[in-house]
Structure 1
Amino acid sequence: MKLNINDIKQALQAIDNLQDPLFAQYEQDERKGVQQAVVQRKKQIQASESLKEQFYQMLAYENKLYDQGLQFIAGVDEVGRGPLAGPVVAAAVILSRDFFLPGLTDSKKLSEAKREEFYEQICQQAVAVGVGIVDAATIDKLNIYQATKKAMLEAIEGLSIEPQALLIDAMELPLNIPQESIIKGDATSISIAASSVVAKVTRDRMMKELALIYPEYGFEKHMGYGTKQHLEAIDTYGILKEHRRSFAPIKEKI
């Protein structure tokens, strides 16, 4: 007696290996619904395997340091260099060697829902998390490059455990801690990717809170970047203390 299609779909969901003999068995079933279910489940497994492979590839920098006997490796990244309003936010994250979160990558490549999900998992599972926040007035005082460094240093100082090495996204810091600056590190190092997510979610939440205070500016949509909506709001409602006065086109409007 043949299983009905729903039963087969349930059985397929329990399979996590493309070599499972049940695939060969169900592929002999001529029913269109079964054929579609087999193809769909194979695609799901392939996608999952691809994310696992990507995750392990993004551990290369960490594994090199683990193999040297180091245990506490902090990934460091920032978000918010480019916006016209709001802070620049940095995060430092130390993960355990057995941390596993397939799909984790550069926060800009993730949906908002996935960033929020990963943020919670990172904060729950990380050995330590530190965050640094530098406001618009300080950015104007220091310049954005120095403000970014300040945020990163604050994030590292905020860690509950002193890191033995730093993996930093495209930046060098004046610290006596072994460090490696990695171009596009948030897409090639899992520790930096984790810090990228923490920094991004932290800043986005701050901008959404700002949107509740100044709803006419639409901060929850553009997060302070110089969109048409944002520029029109500045022209209509004026410059806020959260705006970076050293940034064009804000400084032209003062």
Structure 2
Amino acid sequence: MPTYSLIAGIDEAGRGPLAGPVVAAAVVFRPGHSVTGLGDSKTLSEARRHALLPLIREAAHIGVGIAEPEEIDRINILQATMIAMCRALWSLPLRPDRALIDGNRVPDRLDCDGEAIIGGDASIAEISAASIVAKTLRDALMQRADHRWPGYGFAAHKGYGTAAHMAAIARNGPCPIHRMSFAPIAQRALGLTPR
């Protein structure tokens, strides 16, 4: 059985929304460093995520990868998520021996050994930290998008298909960060849903 000295945890945020990028993060803890209180970012409050983020930055090397909406539309959300995860790993300042990925799929283009772990964001510290980094960054990007396209409420719903978001799309039409290939947007563009 091989032993691995440098383990990266990888997770993403933003696969499901109708707008905005998918953001992935890769985290490698520095030897002798750890952070207590980690968990799946979806179960932590925004305040808790923001409190943990500087602790993660202090204790770990971090890489980030992003796939923008036009790339998601071109290659599909699954492939865009996989490439964002690879970009996160590639942007680390060091090369890990092994990557642990939240979910059931290992990206094809990783340049180290990889293992997919379902529920890893709740059980593996490196993946939990990556989950928090990815979600915090994506939320910040959607806050910025709210200032640029103020008619959609991105700061509140982060691009997810809430009733308020769907009403804003019906009122304003899609904006440049909407994923035109996603069914609610594509159907509206084709005139298949009432405006």
Question: Into which bin does the TM-score normalised by the smaller protein fall?
Answer: over 0.9
The answer to whether the Cα contact below 8 Å between 2:7 and 2:28 also exists between their aligned partners in 1 is yes
Deviation digits for residues 87-131 of structure 1, max 9, x if unmatched? 0000000013422322110000100011011111111221x1100
Matches of 1:148 and 1:242, distance apart in 2: 16
Letter of the aligned partner of 2:159 in structure 1? G
Among 30, 36, 39, which residue is 1:102 paired with?
36
| Aligned 1:41-80 pairs, distance under 5 A | 68=3, 70-80=4-14
The answer to whether the Cα contact below 8 Å between 2:65 and 2:85 also exists between their aligned partners in 1 is yes
In the alignment, which residue of structure 2 is the partner of 1:85? Answer: 19
Q: Does 1:168 align with 2:101?
A: yes
Matches of 2:120 and 2:31, distance apart in 1: 18
Letter of the aligned partner of 1:123 in structure 2? R
In the alignment, which residue of structure 1 is the partner of 2:51? Answer: 117
| Aligned 1:132-147 pairs, distance under 5 A | 132-147=65-80
Matches of 1:227 and 1:111, distance apart in 2: 19
Deviation digits for residues 39-62 of structure 1, max 9, x if unmatched? xxxxxxxxxxxxxxxxxxxxxxxx
Task: Indicate the SS of the match to 2:10.
Answer: strand
In the alignment, which residue of structure 1 is the partner of 2:124? Answer: 189
Q: What is the Cα deviation at residue 162 of structure 1?
A: 0.5
The answer to whether the Cα contact below 8 Å between 2:67 and 2:80 also exists between their aligned partners in 1 is yes
Q: What is the Cα deviation at residue 180 of structure 1?
A: 1.2
Select the structure that is richer in helix. Answer: 1
TM-score after normalising by structure 2: 0.92
Q: Does 1:248 align with 2:183?
A: yes
Q: Larger RCO: Structure 1 or Structure 2 (Cα < 8 Å, ≥ 6 residues apart)?
A: 2
Matches of 2:78 and 2:52, distance apart in 1: 28
The answer to whether the Cα contact below 8 Å between 2:34 and 2:59 also exists between their aligned partners in 1 is no
Task: Indicate the SS of the match to 2:151.
Answer: helix
After TM superposition, where is structure 1 displaced by more than 4 Å over at least 4 residues in a row? none
Q: What is the Cα deviation at residue 176 of structure 1?
A: 4.3
Task: Indicate the SS of the match to 2:128.
Answer: helix
Matches of 1:215 and 1:137, distance apart in 2: 20
Stretch of structure 1 that moved more, 91-100 or 144-153: 91-100
- Give the gaps of 5 or more residues in structure 2: 190-195
Q: Does 1:209 align with 2:109?
A: no
Q: How many residues align?
A: 187
Q: Does 1:154 align with 2:81?
A: no
Greater Rg by CA: 1
Cα RMSD (Å): 1.3
- Amino-acid identity (%): 46
- Give the gaps of 5 or more residues in structure 1: 1-63
| Aligned 1:218-229 pairs, distance under 5 A | 218-229=153-164
Task: Indicate the SS of the match to 2:23.
Answer: strand
| Aligned 1:19-30 pairs, distance under 5 A | none
Select the structure that is richer in strand. Answer: 2
In the alignment, which residue of structure 2 is the partner of 1:38? Answer: none
Matches of 1:92 and 1:80, distance apart in 2: 15
Matches of 1:100 and 1:181, distance apart in 2: 22
Task: Indicate the SS of the match to 2:183.
Answer: coil
